[in-house]
């Protein structure tokens, strides 16, 4: 990575890292009486290690004078590897907490950090932000360059975005284990980690906009609309929901600026739009590039892309209040959340349909190519889970499903079936392109991974549908005397077989990710084949439309 | 590249763009998309007209049906309470012995009591009510504070060491830790206490004699001269083979050394008087039916 930087840029990197190390030292010193001190040390160690990495390569030969003749893929490669590391961490912790629910004694150590309440956000953050986020950053860097036929607009800033984002992820998960958590689901990190992410994210936004501005294509491709929506809206959500007042500069604890039902509404406006713009829009961007590319088919309908994009971005913004049905939230806000969630189904299915219809003419490839099949299954699960989401947002359905495992099953239908599947598809497509191989080291192992992932997802989702609906029914069943028929504990006991099934399904999924890591590792390590792919370049191409526009 | 390129498979023209090999067809939006979009919108409009929906500054549109979740839930709670009222009132009115002999009433008690017990009591006393170390077994006939129906109902109302104004107070002092007794005296009295319920004690005669002396001066004021316990202060009977914590010598030693201040929450304010009476009947009923 350092070899892509000029000496001047290497010096800038060193200066920045030295300042970051100093900041870490200050926090470690002034916050030594508080958990934030530990994070000071973490920042210090992180920046010193990065400093060391730059220094050891400081005297590498400088890059060619005109770097714009080549795409900047070093951060893409690093991002994909980091994403897979986070996948294994996050899915391992996920399988662990799933087994913990089967047998609460599986903490192994009698320490606070090993309790369910601390491990669970480590799982969600590691898979959503660690695995999903890094995959989005890496693929967005890849896609924006190819579809704009230009190099990333910067050399330090892509590295800053990637490594800065991972520092945020590290601050987040280590914080949970130490008990640092602002108790907002999917927004658990405390104020200082939130501030750091704002800096990183604004740099990401600026980088993305500048790269698009340099494009050599007349139009911006659909994938980039989605990536840009993802970056912009996540920034807005993160900043508003994270508004908080810390106890002091040297303490980790802060208090949200919102209170009561306003706090709940802000949190779920954030929470649902994190699903919308992080877990949906970002990955739709991924799908819009890798699926047609791999299928070698044109997108089914440009017009449908437009309708879906604006439908999704417009309707999603209103849907968050369906997380607060039958609560202190005023009834009228619930009505709006429900109706917009119902309308949201149409553009969601239009997107899924656009993806599936794109495969027309390439179904034989879906049959033969596990990588494309990952993307196909992802589109199917996208359709299924958006239908389920709109359905569960209806108040009377929500009365049964809310607070039950059905919600957990729904989330995982989306997270495993859609987000992880499209990501694995994109990664299996990208790795040979990036490392100039003809195929993955073992297409058979891709096939193994596909079936492990699909089996794991189906077992998981069916287990949670069953347990969730049984739970919901047990909680609302009355006996002939007009009182509750079951105690809560009885409903917990009834979940036990489904929790075993869920843990088995989750473990399958983890096993698949390990197979993927091995396959990717072997692909990268395998010697360059004779007919290796050539580098692709943002070469000049005479484009009649572009020429006409000039 | 030609703007008029036609996709051979679908027969549609492309939009003429090319992004690193990706093209798009100019396929019209399928009719069903518009149809369902309009249908979903119309559904929403109807729903908005009927239900509370849009903010209007300081208020909001109330909806033609006049439905509001707050009044809905209040009405349903009141209706459910009214349905239960006949037998709930009977439980409050009927004397205990009469209630226990009334099969219909006890049917309600058993159906409701199991859930009430499961949600409120089982976390400490176990789902079967058989207790755990420090949490009394409610299925046997041993009652720390007395087993009369009114006494049980009162224990439910005020709790033990609960902070309630009328709470039952149970204080087993920390005789060792607070240096009221030297260690050898604690060991002696533990051996003596164990000998009260054991057929043959393994302890030596001198130890037992010393233990008996310590017991008479230190323990008897609460546990009774013969260790038979005292319900007025919740002091357990030490002569039977029922142990609140454990019959293990080390556990008894720790109890005498560090003391015990067990807690049971007060249920007044959390459960209604009818519910507490129902639980009393439920306990008495289960105890009678216990094998």
Distance CA A258, CA A262 (A): 6
Mean pLDDT in residue range A33-37: 95
**Rounded distance between C-alpha atoms, residue A327 and residue A330, angstroms:** 8
All residues of chain A having their beta carbon less than 8 Å from the beta carbon of residue B19 are: 146-147, 217, 221
Query: What pLDDT is stored for residue A3 in this prediction?
Result: 86
Tell me what the mean pLDDT of segment B110-136 comes to: 94
Min Cα distance B74 → chain A (Å) is 13
- Residue B92: inside a domain, yes or no? yes
Mean pLDDT of chain A: 95
CATH code of A186's domain: 1.20.210.10
On whether residue A549 sits in a domain, the answer given is no
d(CA A323, CA A347): 20
Q: Where are the alpha helices (DSSP H) in A413-535?
A: 421-434, 443-476, 488-525
Among B35, B67, B99, residue at a domain's last position: B67
Same domain, A15 and A79: no
**A541: in domain:** no
Summarize pLDDT for A225-271 with one digit per residue, the tens.
999 999 999 999 999 999 999 999 999 999 999 999 999 999 999 99
Q: Are residues B126 and B249 in the same domain?
A: no
Q: What is the rounded CA–CA span in Å between residue A286 and residue A252?
A: 36
Q: Which phi-psi region, left, alpha or beta, contains residue B179 (left: φ > 0; alpha: ψ -120 to 50)? A: left
Count of helices and strands (H, E) across chain A: 20, 2
What is the predicted pLDDT for the residue at A84? Answer: 98
Specify the CATH number for the domain of residue B214.
1.10.760.10
How much is the pLDDT for A542?
54
Average pLDDT of A417-436?
Answer: 97
Query: What is the average per-residue pLDDT within A96-120?
Result: 93
Q: Would you say residue B16 lies in a domain? A: yes
User: Is A41 found in the same domain as A134?
Assistant: no
Within-domain flag for A542: no
**Predicted pLDDT of residue A108:** 87
Is A500 in the same domain as A415? yes
User: Based on the structure, what is the number of domains in chain A?
Assistant: 2
B101 and B154 share a domain?
A: yes
Please write the tens of the pLDDT for every residue from A373-405: 999 999 999 999 999 999 999 999 999 999 999
Pairing of strands B55-56, A254-256: unpaired
Scanning every residue of chain A, which has its alpha carbon at the shortest distance from the alpha carbon of B14?
A: A298
- Considering the domain architecture, whether residues A177 and A200 belong to the same structural domain is answered as yes
Percent of chain A with pLDDT over 90: 91
Looking at the fold, whether A206 and A147 belong to one and the same domain comes out as yes
User: Does residue B61 sit in the same domain as residue B6?
Assistant: yes
Task: Please indicate whether, in this complex, the C-beta atoms of A335 and B47 are within 8 angstroms of each other.
Answer: yes
pLDDT of residue A536: 81
Same domain, A443 and A473: yes
Whether residues A42 and A104 fall in one domain: no
Distance from CA of A42 to the nearest CA of B (A): 41
pTM above 0.95, yes or no: no
Residue ending a domain, choose from B18, B37, B67? B67
Q: Report how far residue B126's alpha carbon sits from residue B137's, in angstroms, rounded to the nearest whole number.
A: 9
A12-32 confidence digits (pLDDT tens): 999 999 999 999 999 999 999
Per-residue DSSP letter, A533:
P
Q: Which of B11, B45, B67 is the last residue of a domain?
A: B67
Of residues A395 and A65, more confidently modeled? A395
For residue B187, give the nearest of B148, B162, B166, B215 by alpha carbon: B215
Q: What's the mean pLDDT when you consider all of chain B?
A: 93
Structure tokens at A1: 């990575």
What average pLDDT does this structure show over A408-418? 97
Sequential DSSP letters for chain B = --TT-B-TTT-PBB-S--BTTB-BBBPPPPHHHHHHHHHHHHHHHHHHHHSS--EETTEE---TT---HHHHHHHHHHHHHHHHHHHHHHHHHS-HHHHHT-HHHHHHHHHHHHHHHHHHTHHHH-TTS--BTTB--SSSS--SS--SHHHHHHHHHH-BSSS-TT-B---B--TTTTTSS-HHHHHHHHHHHHHHH-SS--S-HHHHHHHHHHIIIIIHHHH-TTS--BGGGTBPPSSSS--SS-S-HHHHHHHHHH-B---B---BTTB-HHHHHHHHHHHHHHHHH--
pLDDT for res A534 = 72
- What is the structure's pLDDT at A68? 81
Whole-number pLDDT of residue A550:
44
From chain B, the residues in CB contact with A293 under 8 A are: 20-22
Assigned domain for A537 exists: no
CB A124 within 8 A of CB A528: no
pLDDT over 80 at B174, yes or no: yes
Whether B29 and A301 lie within 8 Å, measured CB to CB? yes
How many structural domains does chain B have?
3
In a domain, B173, yes or no: no
Query: Residue A331: which of B22, B69, B80 has the nearest Cβ?
Result: B69
pLDDT of residue B289: 79
Inside any domain, residue A446:
yes
Does some domain include residue A55? yes
Contact A165, A134 (CB under 8 A): yes
Residue A262 CB neighbours (<10 A): 12
Q: Are residues B87 and B141 in the same domain?
A: yes
Mean local confidence (pLDDT), A300-307:
96
Return the structure tokens found at A361: 């003419």
Count of CB contacts below 8 A, A vs B? 159
* Residue B1 confidence (pLDDT) above 50: no
Looking up tokens 């499961």, which residue turns up? B118
Does residue A539 lie in a domain region?
Answer: no
Question: Do residues A131 and A416 make contact, with C-beta atoms less than 8 angstroms apart?
Answer: no
Residue with tokens 């009649």: A544
| Domain shared by A54 and A103, yes or no | no
Which residues span the domain enclosing B237? Answer: 183-258
In this prediction, residue B4 carries a pLDDT of 67
Closest approach of A444 to chain B, Cα-based (Å): 27
DSSP for A331-347? HHHHHHHHHHHHHHHHH
**Rounded-to-integer distance, Cα B98 and Cα B102, Å:** 6
Closest Cα in chain B, distance from residue A287 (Å): 12
Q: Count CB-CB contacts under 10 A for residue B36.
A: 15
B175 pLDDT band (50/70/90 cuts)?
very high
Q: Write out pLDDT tens, residues A176-187.
A: 999 999 999 999
| Model pLDDT, residue A264 | 97
For residue A544, what pLDDT band results from cuts at 50, 70 and 90?
low
Contact between residue B190 and residue B219 where contact means Cβ atoms under 8 Å apart: no
Residue B63 and residue B82 in one domain: no
Q: What's the CA dihedral at B132, B138, B139, B140 to 10 degrees? A: 90
Best residue of B3, B8, B9, B17 to probe chain A, by most A CBs closer than 10 Å: B17
Given B24, B87, B115, which is nearest A302 (Cβ)? B24
| DSSP-derived secondary structure for A361-428 | T-HHHHHH-HHHHHHHHHHHHHHHHHHHHHHHTSHHHHHHHTTSHHHHHHHHIIIIIIIIHHHHHHHH
Last residue of a domain, one of A63, A78, A104: A63
Name every chain B residue with its beta carbon within 8 A of the beta carbon of A219: 17
Given an 8 Å threshold on Cβ–Cβ distance, is A545 in contact with B80? no
Is A114 found in the same domain as A70?
A: yes
With respect to residue B167, please indicate whether it lies within any of the assigned structural domains: no
The distance from CA B254 to its chain's CA centroid, rounded to whole angstroms, is: 28
Q: What is the mean pLDDT of residues A414-423?
A: 98
Same domain for B53 and B116, yes or no, is no
Q: For residue B47, which residues of chain A lie inside 8 Å, CB to CB? A: 335, 338-339
Q: Does B80 share its domain with B151?
A: yes
Cα gap A550→A380, rounded to integer Å: 41
> Structural domain of residue A17, as residue ranges?
1-63
Q: What is the pLDDT of residue A207?
A: 98
* Same domain membership, residue B102 and residue B60: no
Distance in angstroms (rounded) separating the CA atoms of residues A161 and A177: 25
Inspect the interface and report whether the beta carbons of A346 and B21 lie closer than 8 Å.
Answer: no
Tell whether B242 is covered by a domain: yes
Among candidate residues A163, A191, A6, the one with its CA nearest the CA of residue A78: A163
Residue B177 forms part of a structural domain = no
Q: What ipTM, to 2 d.p.?
A: 0.91
Residues B285 and B215 in one domain: no
Q: Are residues A221 and A321 in the same domain?
A: yes
Q: Is residue A538 part of a domain?
A: no
Which residues in chain B have their CB less than 8 angstroms from residue A300's CB? 10, 25, 27
The answer on A90 and A27 residing in a single domain is no
Collect all residues of chain B within an 8 Å Cβ-Cβ radius of residue A331: 51-52, 67-70
> How far, in Å, CA of A445 to CA of A431, rounded?
14
More confident position, B16 or A236: A236
Three-state SS at A472: helix
* Same structural domain, B6 and B22: yes
Q: In this structure, are B83 and B63 located in the same domain?
A: no
**What is the predicted pLDDT for the residue at A433?**
94
B276, part of any domain: yes
Above 90 in pLDDT, residue A139?
yes
Percent with pLDDT over 70 in chain A: 97
pLDDT, tens digit, 9 for 90 and up, residues B190-216? 999 999 987 677 778 899 999 999 999
Judge if A246 and A266 occupy the same domain: yes
Would residue B240 count as lying in a domain? yes
Spell out which residues of chain B touch residue A301, defining contact as CB-CB under 8 Å: 24-30
Burial class (CB within 10 angstroms; exposed 0-12, middle 13-18, buried 19+) of A232: middle
| Model confidence pLDDT, tens digit, residues A472-521 | 999 999 999 999 999 999 999 999 999 999 999 999 999 999 999 999 99
CA dihedral A72, A73, A75, A79 (to 10 degrees): 150
Same domain, B80 and B153: yes
- Which of A99-125 are b and which e, b meaning 16 or more Cβ less than 10 Å from the residue's Cβ? bbbbeeeebeeeeeeebeebbbbbbbb
Say if residues B168 and B262 touch (Cβ distance below 8 Å): no
């Amino acid at each position: 990575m350092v070899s892509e930087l000029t000496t001047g840029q290497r010096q800038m990197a060193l200066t920045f890292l030295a300042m970051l190390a100093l900041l870490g030292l200050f926090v470690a010193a002034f916050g030594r009486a508080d958990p934030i001190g530990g994070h000071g040390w973490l920042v210090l160690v992180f920046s010193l290690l990065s400093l060391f990495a730059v220094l050891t390569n400081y005297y590498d030969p400088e890059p060619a004078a005109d770097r714009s003749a080549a795409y900047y893929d070093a951060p893409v490669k690093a991002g994909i590897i980091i994403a897979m590391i986070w996948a294994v961490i996050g899915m391992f912790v996920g399988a662990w907490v799933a087994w913990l629910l089967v047998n609460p004694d599986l903490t192994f150590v009698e320490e606070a950090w090993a309790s369910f309440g601390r491990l669970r956000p480590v799982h969600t953050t590691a898979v959503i932000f660690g695995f999903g986020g890094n995959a989005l950053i890496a693929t967005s860097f890849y896609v924006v360059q190819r579809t704009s036929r230009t190099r990333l607009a910067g050399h330090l800033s892509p590295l800053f975005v990637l490594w800065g984002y991972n520092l945020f992820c590290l601050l987040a998960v280590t914080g949970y284990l130490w008990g640092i958590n602002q108790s907002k689901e999917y927004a658990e990190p405390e104020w200082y980690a939130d501030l750091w992410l704002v800096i990183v994210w604004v740099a990401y936004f600026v980088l993305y906009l500048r790269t698009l501005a340099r494009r050599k294509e007349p139009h911006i491709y659909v994938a980039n609309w989605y990536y840009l929506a993802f970056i912009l809206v996540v920034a807005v959500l993160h900043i508003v929901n994270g508004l908080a007042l810390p106890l002091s500069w040297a303490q980790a604890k802060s208090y949200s600026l919102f209170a009561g039902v306003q706090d709940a509404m802000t949190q779920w406006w954030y929470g649902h739009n994190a699903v919308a713009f992080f877990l949906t829009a970002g990955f739709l961007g991924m799908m819009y590039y890798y699926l047609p590319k791999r299928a070698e088919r044109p997108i089914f309908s440009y017009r449908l892309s437009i309708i879906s994009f604006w439908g999704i971005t417009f309707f999603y913004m209103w849907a968050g209040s369906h997380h607060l049905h039958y609560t202190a939230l005023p009834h009228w806000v619930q009505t709006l959340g429900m109706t917009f969630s119902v309308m949201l189904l149409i553009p969601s299915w239009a997107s899924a349909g656009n993806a599936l219809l794109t495969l027309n003419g390439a179904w034989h490839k879906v049959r033969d190519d596990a990588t494309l099949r990952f993307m196909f299954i992802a589109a199917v699960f996208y359709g299924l889970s958006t239908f389920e989401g709109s359905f569960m947002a209806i108040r009377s359905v929500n009365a049964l499903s809310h607070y039950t495992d059905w919600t957990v099953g729904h989330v995982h239908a989306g997270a495993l079936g859609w987000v992880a599947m499209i990501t694995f598809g994109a990664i299996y497509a990208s790795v040979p392109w990036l490392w100039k191989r003809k195929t993955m080291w073992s297409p058979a192992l891709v096939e193994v991974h596909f079936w492990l992932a699909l089996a794991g997802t189906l077992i998981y989702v069916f287990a949670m549908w069953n347990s969730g609906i049984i739970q919901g029914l047990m909680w609302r069943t009355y006996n002939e005397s007009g009182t509750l028929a079951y105690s809560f504990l009885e409903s917990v006991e009834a979940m036990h077989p489904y929790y075993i099934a869920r843990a088995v399904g989750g473990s399958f999924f983890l096993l698949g990710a390990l197979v993927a890591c091995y396959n990717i590792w072997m692909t990268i390590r395998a010697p360059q084949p004779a007919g290796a792919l050539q580098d692709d370049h943002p070469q000049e191409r005479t484009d009649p439309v572009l020429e006409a526009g000039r | 590249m030609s703007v008029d390129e036609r996709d051979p498979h679908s027969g549609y023209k492309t939009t003429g763009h090319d992004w690193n090999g990706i093209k798009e067809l100019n396929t019209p939006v399928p009719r069903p998309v518009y149809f369902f979009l309009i249908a979903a919108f119309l559904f929403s409009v109807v729903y908005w007209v009927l239900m509370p929906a849009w903010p209007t500054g300081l208020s909001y549109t109330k909806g033609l049906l006049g439905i509001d979740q707050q009044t809905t839930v209040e009405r349903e709670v009141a209706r459910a309470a009214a349905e239960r009222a006949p037998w709930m009132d009977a439980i409050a009115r009927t004397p205990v012995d009469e209630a226990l002999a009334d099969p219909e009433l006890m049917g309600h008690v058993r159906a409701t009591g199991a859930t009430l017990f499961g949600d409120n009591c089982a976390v400490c006393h176990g789902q079967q009510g058989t207790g755990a170390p420090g949490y009394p077994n409610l299925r046997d006939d041993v009652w720390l504070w007395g087993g009369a129906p009114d006494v049980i109902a009162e224990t439910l109302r005020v709790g033990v060491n609960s902070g309630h104004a009328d709470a039952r107070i149970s204080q087993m002092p920390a005789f060792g830790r607070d240096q009221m007794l030297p260690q050898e005296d604690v060991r002696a009295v533990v051996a003596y206490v164990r000998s009260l319920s054991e057929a043959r004690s393994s302890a030596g005669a001198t130890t037992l004699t010393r233990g008996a002396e310590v017991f008479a001066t230190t323990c008897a004021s609460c546990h009774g001269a013969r260790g038979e316990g005292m319900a007025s202060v919740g002091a357990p009977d030490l002569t039977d083979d029922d142990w609140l914590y454990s019959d293990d010598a080390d556990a008894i030693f720790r109890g005498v050394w560090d003391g015990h201040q067990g807690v049971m929450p007060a249920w007044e304010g959390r459960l209604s008087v009818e519910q507490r009476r129902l639980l009393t009947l439920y306990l008495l009923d289960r105890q009678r039916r216990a094998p």
